[in-house]
Each structure stands twice: as structure tokens, then as C-alpha cells.
Amino acid sequence: MTATLHWQLSRFYFFYYFFVGLFTPYWGLYLQDLKFNPLQIGILLSLFQFSRIIAPNFWGWLADHTGQRTKWIRVTAFFGFLGFCAVFWADTFYLMFFSMMAMSIFTSSTLPLVESLTLSHLSTSKGNSGYTRIRLWGSVGFIAAALILGYLIDLFTVQSLVWALLLTQGTIFILTCYIPEKKDKAVYLIKRSIFAVIRSPEVICILLGCGLMVSSHGLLYNFYSIFLKSNDYSSFSIGLLWSIGVFFEIFMFLLMPKILNKINLKQILLISLALGVIRFFLIGAFVNSIYIIIFAQILHAATFGSFHVASIQIIEHFFNKDHHARGQSLYNSITYGVGGVVGGIGGGFMIEAYGANTTFMLSALLPLLGFIVIYYGLKNFPITAS
């Protein structure tokens, strides 16, 4: 991979996750400022995950069918920007619902297409370990956004978030215009049916196990900031806690090439899931202990960082180049789509019925179930990323 291509991809990841670093920690606080209740907030924030169930698969099919991934990356980024503009006029639940749905249908599809394109470019390099060196810039972008907005919200109001998100969406679209296409050579004389791949017991298990892990994160992404705010954490402190997690995620990305020389992808997933059980129990049980909460955030390096790297490369292994884009899109749909909706909306119901502390503690059962599914279901899979 050339230095120019590395820069083009890295800056996209930086600004895409800059957007995520604005949206994830603070959008729930913005919706709370508009006087929406926990269930309404859970529904609205889960629209992004819900749209991932269908939309990325459609765009992934178009990308594979036409062989023009960059074209559809630009289309989804542009209409994601336009969709977000409607948020400025959304002051009721139903207006916000349709505005966020319009935005999320497109925005949720941009990343899996870029993930597919990035891995395709890296396929001509020595292994896929170079992915971590590109993806870590996304983590840097998340930290920068979380810290800057936390400070600005405390200094001004949460309304500043909307303008920051709009500018970032526009920047993302501009950057997609500079990402080059990569044509994949046909791997099979006869293209496999994607349904034959999906029916594989190991593919089913990896999607189910990862979906369970992401369900617990759906609760985290929707309600963690609100949970901290209700326990008297300032906006800057909330941004700092999110940043600590992502800082150690970067550290994990840097270590992943060496880790992959020692243990395989299945083992990395199992360790990540086990640490997820610990993390979510600690968040619910010890929210008033800053030191334990910091430790729980450090575990984000495993529950997202190593988990993400291992899971997308396992998906890449099973779907390969004949279903390159659709494999990553399907993974996003099942895990971040279905899993995110279950955690987000289910979390809203649980919080209203049992309170946030109990809900976060019970969410630790989800990665535990994921551990069991992966341990017994992903058999004979000793491959590394190289």
C-alpha cells in the first residue's frame, strides 16, 4: 500500500470516528435536553442500529454487483449529510424519528463499504495487520471529538453538538471523493451463493456470538453518558471517560500485529468476550467509584478494539472476495444492527422498569452467552491474520 493511499484511508477513518465521537457520547444528552424520556431516547438512538439491519446489505449488493464501491460510498455519505440537515427542524419525537431515520439509512452504510474497500486494498500487502495502523486513526478522531465537545458543552450548551455534527458529515463526504477504487480479481470460476455461506454453522455462530457482544454495547452507546450524568459526572468528565476507553483501544490496535503472532483470532474473540462480562458488571455495580469506572473503560480496548479486529477478519475469511462488500455489510447488519437494536431499545425498557444500575449489571450476561456460542460453535478455526 502506498503512503498516499494510507493517508487517504486514514483521514477518512479519523473524521468518520470524529463523527462517532460526537454522536455516541453526547447525542443522548441532546435528546434528553429536548425532554425525551428513556424509552424514546432508546428508540431514537437505536434507529442508527436498526437501519444497519437492511440498508448496508442493499448498498453492499450494489457494490459487489457493479464493482464500484467508491461510487456508493460517496452516494451514502452525501445523502447522510443531507439527511442530518433535517435535524435542525426536528423538535418533536416524530419529527426527530423521521429525521434520524433518513440520516441513518445512509450514514450506517458508508463504513462497511469502506471497511470492505480497505481490506481489499490491504489484500495485496503482506497480511491484513496493516488494517490496525489505518483504523487507529479512527480512534484518534473519536478521542479528539469527545474531549473537544465535552469542553464546549460545559462552556456553552449541548446545542453546539448539532453544528459540529453537520460540519463533520460534510467533511466525510468530501473525503470520500478522494478514496480510490480497488478492482478484485475473481477468486472462483463459479461464484458461490451468498446463502450457502450464511448457512454455514460457523458463520451463524460468529454472527450470533458477535451480535450478543454488541447488544451490551448498544446499551452502552445509548445510555452510558446519561447514566454518568445522572450520577453527577460533568460533560467534560464523560468525554474524558469515553476518551480513556478509546485511547487504550488505540494501544490495542498497535499491539494487535504482535498479539496475532502469539494467539489466533478465535482466542482473541473469547478473551474479548470474557473481559466484556467483567466490564459491564463493573459499570452497573460501581458507577460511583471513579477508579473502577476508569478500569472498566480501559477494558474497552478488548471489548471493542481486539474484538472488532478479530471479528471482521474472520468474516473476511468466510466470505472472501466473491462476497467482499456483502460479507462486511451482513456482519454490520446482524451485530451492530440487530444487536444494537436489542441493546438500545431493550435497555430503554429495562432502565424504566429496573433502573440503570441493574440494567448495566444484567447486560454482562450478553457477552457471557456470546462466549459460550463462539467457544462451542467456531470449531477448527486456528487462522491468524497473516
Tens of pLDDT, residues 269-310: 999 999 999 999 999 999 999 999 999 999 999 999 899 889
- Confidence class of residue 189 from pLDDT cuts 50, 70 and 90? very low
Residue pLDDT, tens place only, 237-255: 999 999 999 899 888 988 8
Which of 212, 228, 131 lies closest to 375, judged by CA?
212
Please give the pLDDT value at position 382. 58
Domain residue extents for the chain: 3-182+193-377
CA distance linking residue 40 with residue 1, whole number of Å: 45
Whether pTM exceeds 0.75: yes
CATH number, domain 3-182+193-377 = 1.20.1250.20
Per-residue DSSP letter, 382: -
Please give the pLDDT value at position 54. 79
Please give the pLDDT value at position 188. 47
Cell of 43: 428508540
First-to-last alpha carbon distance for the chain, in angstroms, is 16
CA distance linking residue 114 with residue 177, whole number of Å: 12
Burial (Cβ within 10 Å: 0-12, 13-18, ≥19) of residue 199: exposed
